[in-house]
Amino acid sequence: MQNSKKNPFLTNKSCQESILFFILSIGLFIYSLTKHYGVVKLEWKMSPYLFPALISIFLFFLSILLFSDGLRQIKEGISVENDVKVSWKKLISAVIACMVYIIIMPIITFIPSTILFIGYMLYLLGERRKLFIIFLSILVSVIIYFLFSVLLNVMLP
């Protein structure tokens, strides 16, 4: 009987995720705008904050699609069971790692901070082969740098 009094939007997993993605998209878009107009005096096509702005737009559309899916599930009375257990320790570690990455990137530059970040995230996700972590972290960081900085001529933070 108490389940019928609960708001169906708050109990539906798709609606919950859509709200989270919507908040993330708005926050990322505001971050991109404030950093671009407050710090960088470049055109948007050269700005390092263009890609976070684009990602925020994609997240916004994803949140709309998830919300519409949640509404459809509620309307049709579909109950989606989610058996995935959240590892709060790993989740909080990943969020803290992202914050540290953002803080140390201006200090130690893009490539070293990205190598450390990718290496930590691979370890956090369960990879234990040290040589593989080192190789992949360096390779991905250098490829990202080459693609964006050299080929696309986009300033990296």
Indicate the residue among 22, 55, 82 that finishes a domain.
Answer: 82
Q: Are residues 139 and 107 in the same domain?
A: yes
Task: Please tell me whether residues 112 and 149 are part of one structural domain.
Answer: yes
The rounded distance, in Å, linking the Cα atoms of 43 and 35 is: 13
Domain with 43 in it = 1-82
**Is 47 a residue whose pLDDT tops 80?**
no
* Residue with the larger pLDDT of the pair 92 and 153: 92
Which residues touch 140 (CB under 8 Å, ≥6 apart)?
114, 118
What does the pLDDT look like over 11-37, one tens digit per residue? 778 888 888 889 999 998 898 888 777
Q: Do residue 58 and residue 125 come from a single domain? A: no
- CA 114 – CA 120 distance, rounded (Å): 10
Confirm if 6 and 34 have CB atoms less than 8 A apart.
no
Q: What is the mean pLDDT of residues 112-137?
A: 94
Residue at a domain's end among 32, 59, 82: 82
- Kindly state whether residues 58 and 107 are assigned to the same domain: no
Tell me the whole-structure pTM to 2 decimals.
0.59
The tally of domains found in the chain comes to: 2
Q: Are residues 98 and 75 in the same domain?
A: no
Please answer whether residues 56 and 29 qualify as being in contact, where contact means their C-beta atoms are separated by less than 8 angstroms.
yes
Distance CA 13, CA 42 (A): 41
Query: d(Cα 112, Cα 94) in Å, to the nearest integer?
Result: 18
Q: What is the structure's pLDDT at 119?
A: 96
